[in-house]
């Protein structure tokens, strides 16, 4: 636990416990919701970070100036990684962390920091929920990242940032030496593509189902929706943004009433498989390097466990305006 060590993890709660536990060195929290918004291939780290900061600010996840500053500070440290005697990456099993891990390992490989220079701690417990002494007990269990591991991480990162979602699907079925949680995380990401029948991502479906089961406040919707995950990866702020998306015009699936949030009739129809949300709602979002639009509509087919091209033409404004009151 030398002073000239670089320790990188997912968020601020871990940094606090590191300090309490006496972990010396430079501490960095990566802090990016990479499973949401644009992450296109071919951008240098700094350029991608500017894009990401702008996106996160647009979603209300933070102040734009602070986001840019924090990413610049973070990136400057990782660019100096070769100056440290020890580099230790501390990450969890969930999608949020596994994408962090891919990005960092890819950046380090691009900088020529090869096998034997990076050490890894992977936990199936949420690091932010561990006490200082529990975190410190993980330190002796760190393992060096081998060249095979680094190459696998770089390949998975390329698939994630590719504009072809079939590359991501293929990567989700691979097995990765030294990364026991990566396969499951990438598969979970594939489930964020609109479902073949309903147009809902798995996260959107969980949120809408929680509301349909009687959760009326954002906090309860968050708790119930995340209880459905094999490895919870969504923060409350991100979940609340998804709730807002489902409340948005022109075809809201959730209404805000005096009693709280409730599914609309259209929301219940979509949950029942009787309607496709993308027939009514414009599609414009990113999953990694894939920009989903009405013209580029990829879906997740749960029955075949693969992505498919499944355009659902948005109804014209005239047709949408003729929806009966019970449809929205």
Residues 209 and 98 in one domain: no
291 and 317 co-located in one domain:
yes
Cα 290–chain centre separation: 14
136 in Cβ contact with 23 (< 8 Å)? yes
Claim to verify: residue 85 and residue 66 sit in the same structural domain? yes
Same domain, 150 and 240: no
217 and 146, same domain (yes or no): no
Q: Is the confidence at residue 324, as pLDDT, over 80?
A: no
Cut 0.95: pTM above it: no
Give SS3 for 196. coil
Q: Are residues 209 and 161 in the same domain?
A: no
Picking from 128, 112, 122, the residue whose alpha carbon sits closest to that of residue 143 is 122
The 10s digit of each residue's pLDDT in 42-98 is: 999 999 999 999 999 999 999 999 999 999 999 999 999 999 999 999 999 999 999
From residue 114, how far is each of 7, 79, 87 by CA, in Å? Answer: 17, 14, 11
Note the pLDDT tens digit of each residue in 246-278: 999 999 999 999 999 999 999 999 999 999 999
* Cβ contact 290:298 at 8 Å: yes
Provide the domain count of the chain: 2
pLDDT at 312 over 80: no
Q: Provide the β-strand partners of residue 293.
A: 284
* 166 and 40 co-located in one domain: yes
Residue ending a domain, among 168, 189, 210, is 189
Statement to judge: residues 46 and 173 lie in one domain: yes
Which of 189, 217, 238 is the last residue in one of the domains? 189
Q: What is the CATH number of the domain that holds 265?
A: 1.10.460
259 with 157, same domain: the answer is no
Contact residues for 250 (Cβ-Cβ < 8 A; gap 6+): 280, 281, 282, 320
pLDDT of residue 305: 95
Distance CA 120, CA 6 (A): 12
Residues 42 and 150 in one domain: yes
Q: Residue 74's Cα: distance from chain center in Å?
A: 19
Tally of helices (H runs) and strands (E runs) in the chain? 13, 12
252 and 282 belong to one structural domain:
yes
Position 310 confidence tier, pLDDT thresholds 50, 70, 90:
confident
Predicted local distance difference test score (pLDDT) of residue 1: 54
Q: What percent of the chain has pLDDT over 90?
A: 92
* Last residue of one domain, picked from the residues 159, 189, 219: 189
* CATH code for the domain in which residue 89 is found: 3.40.50
Residue-range definition of the domain harbouring residue 10 = 5-189
Q: Note whether 89 and 43 are within 8 A (CB).
A: no
* Residue 235, burial from CB neighbour count under 10 angstroms (0-12, 13-18, 19+): middle
The tokens of 165 are what? Answer: 């979602």
pLDDT band at 325 (very low <50, low <70, confident <90, very high): very low
Residue 321, pLDDT above cutoff 50: no
Per-residue pLDDT tens for 206-243?
999 999 999 999 999 999 999 999 999 999 999 999 99
68 and 118 co-located in one domain: yes
pLDDT bin (cut points 50, 70, 90) of residue 322 is very low
DSSP 13-72: HHHHHHHHHT--SEEEE----TTSEE--TT--HHHHHHHHHHHHHHTTSS-HHHHHHHHH
Q: For 135-178, what is each residue's pLDDT tens digit?
A: 999 999 999 999 999 999 999 999 999 999 999 999 999 999 99
């Amino acid at each position: 636990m030398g002073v000239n060590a670089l320790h990188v993890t997912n968020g601020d709660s871990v940094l606090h416990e590191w300090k309490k536990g006496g972990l010396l060195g430079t501490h960095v929290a990566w802090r990016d919701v990479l499973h949401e918004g644009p992450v296109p291939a071919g951008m240098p780290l700094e350029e991608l970070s500017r894009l990401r900061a702008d996106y996160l600010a647009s979603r209300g996840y933070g102040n734009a100036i602070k986001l840019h500053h924090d990413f610049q500070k973070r990136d400057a440290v990782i660019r100096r990684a070769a100056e440290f005697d020890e580099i230790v990456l501390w990450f969890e099993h969930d999608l949020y962390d596994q994408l962090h891990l891919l990005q960092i390992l890819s950046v380090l490989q691009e900088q020529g920091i090869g096998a034997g220079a990076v050490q890894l701690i992977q936990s199936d417990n949420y690091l932010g929920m561990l006490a200082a002494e529990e975190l410190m007990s993980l330190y002796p269990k760190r393992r060096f990242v081998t060249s095979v591991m680094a190459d696998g991480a770089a390949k998975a990162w390329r698939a994630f940032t590719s504009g072809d979602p079939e590359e991501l699907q293929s990567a989700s079925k691979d097995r990765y030496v030294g990364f026991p949680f990566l396969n499951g995380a990438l598969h979970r990401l594939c489930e964020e593509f609109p479902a073949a029948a309903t147009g809902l991502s798995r996260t959107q479906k969980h949120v809408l189902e929680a509301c349909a089961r009687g959760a009326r406040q954002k906090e309860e919707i968050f708790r119930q929706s995340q209880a459905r995950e094999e490895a919870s990866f969504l923060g409350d702020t991100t979940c609340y943004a998804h709730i807002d998306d489902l409340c948005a015009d022109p075809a809201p699936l959730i209404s805000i009433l005096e009693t709280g949030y409730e599914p609309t009739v259209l929301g219940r129809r979509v949950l029942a498989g009787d309607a496709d949300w993308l027939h009514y709602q414009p599609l414009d979002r990113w999953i990694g390097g894939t920009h989903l639009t009405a013209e580029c509509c990829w879906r997740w087919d749960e029955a075949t466990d693969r992505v498919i091209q499944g355009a659902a033409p948005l109804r014209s404004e005239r047709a949408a305006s003729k929806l009966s009151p019970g449809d929205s």
